[in-house]
Structure 1
Amino acid sequence: MDHQRVIRAVTVRLPMASTAVEACQWTVTALARHTPATISVLLQVHDRLRCVAATGSWQVFSTVPPKTGIVGRVYASGETAVVPDVAADPDYLPVRPDVTAEVCVPVLDPAGRPVGVLDLQWCEPVELAPWRETAERLAARLGARIVALGGPPAESRSEKLLRHAAALTSAPTEEDLWAAALTAARDVSTLSAAALVLAGRLGTPAAAPSELETRIRAELVEAGPGALDRMTSRAHRHGAGYTLGEAGHPPTVDYAPLARAGVRTLVAVPVGPPDTGGVLLVADERLLCPNPTTVNLVELLAGQAWSCLDRLRTLARLREQASSDPLTGLRHTGPFGQRIATATPGRTALLAIDVDGFKTVNDTYGHQAGDRVLIGLARALEGALRQGDELYRIGGDEFVAVIEVNRPEEAVRIAERLTEAARRTGRTISVGVALPRPGESPELTLRRADQALYAVKRHGRDGVRLAPA
């Protein structure tokens, strides 16, 4: 193999390339004339290596996450990898089943910083040392040409949309979701500010809000709920809208608060259904002219964000159903076990509660009447507890309150408030109180509270007893 000829073949073509992608494609095409290798060039685009030119493979990876595979390793380290046996390299990303050897070299800019990689893979015996030298020399020439042409290609808007859609899908909370949606709207539209009006009020602000976003939020707060409702109604009644970015045209009354904030260019798209949704506002101080494609991309983002919100809310409902008693809405044994496992000795009081004469209600009036009694008592007991106190239903007519107190007497007073609340419903309860001892398991603390409760039962019910310390 005449490697000088290979280098000349590529070097002659590079000056004629008018874009970085074209330079990569010509490099791969010229190399392919001299070797049967699978050849590809991957350049850094945003946070991934993107394949911009390839030949000799049934399938290539379109994008590769940072530090993934041999190509990611070479890009991250800036050092060439010569792999005589790809089966022995755990980082190898298979593109065809018969590859045996690989040479991957970094594509460097004139300052020595990686902008991508040039990768060659063979399926037959090959002398790797001369190909390493050839690939490194070509990669250096390619890197210089890419920089001369303005650097690697920018991330396309469709790629941005895909990246942000993934971020929306993985958002763990509603706040994270809407913050990600605002960031995505700014990025895809190239406008500098975004705000969300949802269910008649301002949504979560974007991370690191711009000065314009801060002014927009201040003006919308000043304008009040009526102005927010009018913007939302307009978007849902007439659909997405945008300014033409032309000077001398006053805004409609609905958008006057945005004009006062300094907005000169605006895209407004509806979010979700009219009754529970809102409007996504993407804006800029500059006089720009968004095109319909930009508006369509923002609409796609809004739709994706609402779908992700629906998924989050569905998951939240399922979690609530899994951890709550369906009759009373109180949390049940699973969450209770987790809570008492964190009990603080001398501070966390457990109040075991039993409804007096509940079996008689069921036997005399039926289970529907018993259910109504339990629901009424649950609401009454919740109302008698303090902010932060927790009430659980752990059996048929058995409840447990978990409260934080400074002294045992405080726990007894709260238990007495519960008995008074129960009496106002026409029922009575028996309550046993226990505070964890140092080194005592939560289960044993609850057992002592139960023993105190049974002592109340033996002495006539409708009362409170503190378990011995």
Structure 2
Amino acid sequence: MRVDHNRVIRDVTVRLPMASTAAEACQWTVTALARYAPATITVLLQVADRLRCVAATGAWQVFSTVPPKTGIVGRVYASGAGATVPDVAEDPDYLPVRPDVTSEVCVPVLDPAGRPLGVLDLQWSGPVELGPWRETAERVAAHLGARIMALGGPPAESRSEKLLRHAAALTAAPTAADLSTAAIRAAREVSTLGAAVLVLADGSGPRLSEPADSPGELESRIRAALTEAGGPALGLMISRAHRHGAGYTLGEAGHPPTEEYRPLADAGGRTLVAVPVGPPEGGGVLLVADERLLRPDPTTVNLMELLAGQAWTCLDRLSTLARLREQASSDPLTGLRHTGAFEQRIARATPGRTALLAIDVDGFKTVNDTYGHQAGDRLLVGLARALEAALRQGDELYRTGGDEFVAVIEVNRPEEAVRIAERLTEAARRTGRTISVGIALPRSGELPKQTLQRADQALYAAKRQGRDAVRLSAA
């Protein structure tokens, strides 16, 4: 059937001036086009960092959001140039929405200045003259773009969409500090309040997380007030939030704040949302505040609770991963790093500068045989602490076997390594035990395991010469 494209454009655009919202304009455009085009029709507009589907005809699958530059729609939006695709199977960017689609026309929706706002996409499953439809789509998209801008632009990102976007950033945060910063940034943006502060408890007590970006004036005052109030006040805030749950506080005249919230009131906060984070022991509180006096908004509190839950889940995951990494690289008895970490360290050894000190406890088997393994374990723990204390800052000590240790130290010359080894033997004597030490410095082109073998050989030589001794491997 032959299509009168001028009539299509007229019928599609005649109602656009009556649309009261951008979403309404998009839906009318799609509905009117569908009367003439037996196609899957979609309008996607940029919202934050994605293309969001604002209007569509029925299809097996319509993508709610599309990441930038993804698919033909992302390519068209990024380039600002339309695309005619006679065979979607030949286009690697095609995003399948139904199995029978054969061709696609996608054009950018531009504002009057030529900047892309989104795309108008049409997909067919049968024969069609793509050229005329490409021209029609471009003319319709131009009218749609002008109307959208007249209505104030694409629809704003909802607060729930903001939370979803920030949740992805929390999940991707590589460190606890990065995650705390991301949570504060999310709290500000999702709540639409002026300040956000995260207070977390650790082994040394409650503490303020680092601010995100450049904190505003109110947030800076609140941070200063909480810092001055100190740990006890922060602890009270955490305790209150976990005891009573999330709270919405108004700082109205004539209604003094509770003692723990006085620092926030003194800093100028008039609206406060306080949400517990994590468990009562070891968790914290998320504080979101504003200078404006805003009436209670359950949606804001609910969104902050969701954010706090997601933030704690991610913090707990990072803590678990760090603990597992520590367990994987540390000896459970002495707490020293062990073989895996040692091998990684000596792989970075600098020829002529990094010394390996192979250490063996003299007569350790006798201790185990005479007094039992518990006595042997206590000996190793005490000796490990003594050797660590005798090393310089930056030197590293590893447990590589039952009663075998290796120290990795940076020196300017071999004699310096000998002096450090002698300090270790003296430290061992103060525990009531003796050790033998063999020293080797990596040679140019030498494999790390070969350096360690030379250190071991020097250690055996020290044993042979009477133990409680230091021996330097030949250069």
TM, length-normalised to structure 1: 0.97
Residues 246 and 288, structure 1, Cα contact 8 Å, conserved in 2: no
The reply on whether 1:169 has 2:175 as its aligned counterpart is no
Matched AA of 2:382: G
Q: Distance in 2 between matches of 1:372 and 1:135?
A: 81
1:347-358 matched pairs, under 5 angstroms: 347-358=353-364
The unaligned stretches of length 5 or more in structure 1 are none
Q: Distance in 2 between matches of 1:342 and 1:449?
A: 17
Residues 36 and 56, structure 1, Cα contact 8 Å, conserved in 2: no
Q: Distance in 2 between matches of 1:85 and 1:246?
A: 65
Matched AA of 1:156: S
**Partner of residue 261, structure 2:** 255
Q: Deviations over 1:14-43 (max 9, x none)?
A: 112111011111111111111111110000
**Partner of residue 119, structure 1:** 121
Aligned counterpart for 2:130 among listed residues 122, 128, 140: 128
Aligned counterpart for 1:15 among listed residues 17, 32, 44: 17
Matched AA of 1:161: L
What is the Cα deviation at residue 380 of structure 1? 1.9
**Partner of residue 43, structure 1:** 45
Give the match's secondary structure for 1:160: helix
Give the match's secondary structure for 1:185: helix
The reply on whether 1:151 has 2:146 as its aligned counterpart is no
Residues 243 and 289, structure 1, Cα contact 8 Å, conserved in 2: no
What is the Cα deviation at residue 447 of structure 1? 1.8
Q: Distance in 2 between matches of 1:247 and 1:118?
A: 53
Q: Deviations over 1:315-358 (max 9, x none)?
A: 11111111122222211111111111111122211111011112
Q: Deviations over 1:222-241 (max 9, x none)?
A: 11222212222221222211
1:9-408 matched pairs, under 5 angstroms: 9-199=11-201, 200-244=206-250, 246-247=252-253, 249-408=255-414
Q: Deviations over 1:130-175 (max 9, x none)?
A: 0000000000000011111111111111111111111111111100
Matched AA of 1:92: Y
Give the match's secondary structure for 1:432: strand
Give the match's secondary structure for 1:243: strand
Q: Distance in 2 between matches of 1:382 and 1:89?
A: 63
Give the match's secondary structure for 1:267: strand
What is the Cα deviation at residue 440 of structure 1? 2.8
Give the match's secondary structure for 1:201: strand
Residues 235 and 241, structure 1, Cα contact 8 Å, conserved in 2: yes
**Partner of residue 457, structure 1:** 463
Identity %: 84
What is the Cα deviation at residue 204 of structure 1? 2.3
Give the match's secondary structure for 1:416: helix
- Indicate the larger mover: 152-161 or 382-391: 382-391
Q: Distance in 2 between matches of 1:466 and 1:128?
A: 83
Q: Distance in 2 between matches of 1:105 and 1:366?
A: 81
Across the aligned residues of Structure 1 and Structure 2, the Cα RMSD in angstroms comes to: 1.5
Give the match's secondary structure for 2:241: helix
Residues 194 and 213, structure 1, Cα contact 8 Å, conserved in 2: yes
What is the Cα deviation at residue 48 of structure 1? 0.2
What is the Cα deviation at residue 308 of structure 1? 1.0
Q: Distance in 2 between matches of 1:238 and 1:125?
A: 65
Residues 251 and 265, structure 2, Cα contact 8 Å, conserved in 1: no
- Indicate the larger mover: 249-258 or 99-108: 249-258
Give the match's secondary structure for 1:23: helix
Q: Distance in 1 between matches of 2:448 and 2:193?
A: 56
Matched AA of 2:123: Q
Residues 22 and 153, structure 2, Cα contact 8 Å, conserved in 1: yes
Give the match's secondary structure for 2:375: helix
The reply on whether 1:436 has 2:438 as its aligned counterpart is no
Q: 1:120 to 1:245 in 2, by over 3 A?
A: farther
Residues 247 and 287, structure 1, Cα contact 8 Å, conserved in 2: no
Residues 436 and 459, structure 2, Cα contact 8 Å, conserved in 1: yes
Q: Deviations over 1:32-83 (max 9, x none)?
A: 1111111100000000000011114111111000000000000000000100
Give the match's secondary structure for 1:28: helix
Between Structure 1 and Structure 2, how many residues are aligned?
Answer: 469
- Indicate the larger mover: 435-444 or 240-249: 240-249
Q: Distance in 2 between matches of 1:79 and 1:289?
A: 47
Q: Deviations over 1:375-420 (max 9, x none)?
A: 2222221222222211111122211111112232222222112112
- Indicate the larger mover: 347-356 or 137-146: 347-356
Q: Distance in 2 between matches of 1:56 and 1:271?
A: 42
Q: Distance in 1 between matches of 2:445 and 2:337?
A: 26
Q: Deviations over 1:65-106 (max 9, x none)?
A: 000000000000000010001111110000111111000000
Q: Deviations over 1:155-201 (max 9, x none)?
A: 11111111111111111110011111101110110012111111112
- Indicate the larger mover: 136-145 or 320-329: 320-329
Q: Distance in 2 between matches of 1:386 and 1:48?
A: 53
Residues 452 and 467, structure 1, Cα contact 8 Å, conserved in 2: yes
**Partner of residue 453, structure 2:** 447
Matched AA of 1:193: A
Q: Distance in 2 between matches of 1:18 and 1:396?
A: 78
Aligned counterpart for 1:409 among listed residues 402, 405, 415: 415
Give the match's secondary structure for 2:286: strand
Residues 334 and 381, structure 2, Cα contact 8 Å, conserved in 1: yes
The unaligned stretches of length 5 or more in structure 2 are none
Give the match's secondary structure for 1:136: helix
